[in-house]
Structure 1
Amino acid sequence: MQLDRIFVSEDIDSNNLGVTTTLQNMGYAQIGHSQYCDDALLKLKKALNDGTPYDLLITDLSFENPRAKKNIQNGQELVTAIKAIQPTLKVVVFSVEDDHHTITTLFSDQQIDAYVCKGLNGLSELQKSIKAITNHEQYTCPIATAVLQQKNVLALDGYEQQLLAYLAKGYTQHEISALLKEQDISPNSVRSIEANISKLKDYFNATNTTHLVYVASSLGLI
């Protein structure tokens, strides 16, 4: 599908600039924005009434701003409000929150199309989410995917947690092999370590070792 007009609802200037710059680099020129949920809803409504509706909303969940009187308190309420009048609007939630219930509810109740966690690779993941939406697909970043698939976290054994800990400290596979041999921990061959790290990457949908460490750290595993 074609996404021509995109609206960004984000209260922090630096984040707003980062998202806007990312969108511009992707070739999008018609970008609206607001730092307040109430104002965002008004602008989205006006665009709809003017016959120039936005195709995609990118919104944070939490908004810490100085306005005392707010009808809409957060991004989740904003999505609910705009979906009531423009149900076809595509939505990407871009947030630091990684709570299982929140993410699940946003997909089931608010019918969002993508959830991306801020942080390392956040903006690149945002690009992936937009590309997925243009292909009529839903998207969750690796952290959100891992949160939604709690069985992956619960299935980790002591050996796998130890591997993650060593990776987080920057050890190479050969160094990890030597450390495991010193502690008489098996399997400890470089090949087996490589295979287990590959399995962990699949668990958490991580593209590389750095990404794997970040996801595992975000989930409190290391």
Structure 2
Amino acid sequence: MQLNRIFVSEDIDSNNLGVITMLQGLGYTQIGHSQYCDEALLKLKRALLDGNPFQILITDLSFDNPRDKKHLQNGQELIAAIKAVQPEIKVVVFSVEDNHSTIKSLLENQKIEGYVCKGLNGLKELKNSIEAVSQNKTYTCPIATAVLQRKNVLELDGYEQQLLLYLAQGHKQNEISALLKEKGISPNSIRSVEANISKLKDYFDASNTTQLVYIATSMGII
């Protein structure tokens, strides 16, 4: 069955519009939305009762909800509530939250299908998640993946942090080698610099140095 009905639960108008515009660009025309968790649940349940359920839910986690009387406080509660009545619905979280325990709990306990961190490449990663989820795959953006895989950022030593800093400043590997030699830092050969950068890319599950810098910056390492 083709997944073509998507519901967006997001309390900020600009974010809501950005997500909907992206979905429309992908060809989706059956898109529901709400700025409130309680209203989102009602609309999702209504569609289910009408025999035309939404198949994917994209939701934020935190909602600055001006309504005084509300039953559902956040995205986690919305996910639990809709999964209780429609367990087959696929859920993608789109949030600024990049906490390890939060992401792990949502994936393992609430069985969500995707987790994307908001930011510079947020909408692009959200697009990737929709495509993956539509193929019955689970998707986490590079930042979320790195958060889940890393043991402890503090395991990075001063040398590795220096490499990340030089990369963030736009230096090429031969330039980094020269800068390390000037500072008397070892290892400083181009070959060793290349090997250590490759190790960092593996550590953070980054496909290239640009993505490596983006992940490290987003996580506050540099």
TM-score normalised by the chain length of structure 2: 0.94
How big is the alpha-carbon RMSD for the aligned residues of Structure 1 and Structure 2?
1.5
Q: Quick one: distance in 2 between partners of 1:207 and 1:34?
A: 35
Structure 1 residue 205: deviation in Å? 1.9
- Where in structure 2 are the equivalents of 1:141-160 lying within 5 Å? 141-151=141-151, 153-160=153-160
Pairs aligned (count) = 222
Q: Quick one: distance in 2 between partners of 1:139 and 1:78?
A: 20
Alpha-carbon contact 2:106-2:112 (below 8 Å) kept: yes
Identity level (%): 73
Residue identity opposite 1:123 in structure 2: L
- Where in structure 2 are the equivalents of 1:117-136 lying within 5 Å? 117-136=117-136
Q: Quick one: distance in 2 between partners of 1:142 and 1:120?
A: 12
Residue identity opposite 2:64 in structure 1: E
Q: Name the structure 2 match of 1:72.
A: 72
Alpha-carbon contact 2:54-2:89 (below 8 Å) kept: yes
Q: Please, which runs of 5 or more residues in structure 2 have no aligned partner?
A: none
- Where in structure 2 are the equivalents of 1:1-222 lying within 5 Å? 2-151=2-151, 153-222=153-222
Q: Please, which runs of 5 or more residues in structure 1 have no aligned partner?
A: none
SS of 2:203 mapped into structure 1:
helix
Q: Quick one: distance in 1 between partners of 2:54 and 2:42?
A: 12
Alpha-carbon contact 2:150-2:204 (below 8 Å) kept: no
Alpha-carbon contact 1:152-1:203 (below 8 Å) kept: no
SS of 1:151 mapped into structure 2:
coil
1:19-51 Cα deviation digits (max 9, x unpaired): 111111111111110000000000000000000
Alpha-carbon contact 2:107-2:113 (below 8 Å) kept: yes
Alpha-carbon contact 1:22-1:127 (below 8 Å) kept: yes
Q: Quick one: distance in 1 between partners of 2:196 and 2:25?
A: 37
SS of 2:64 mapped into structure 1:
coil
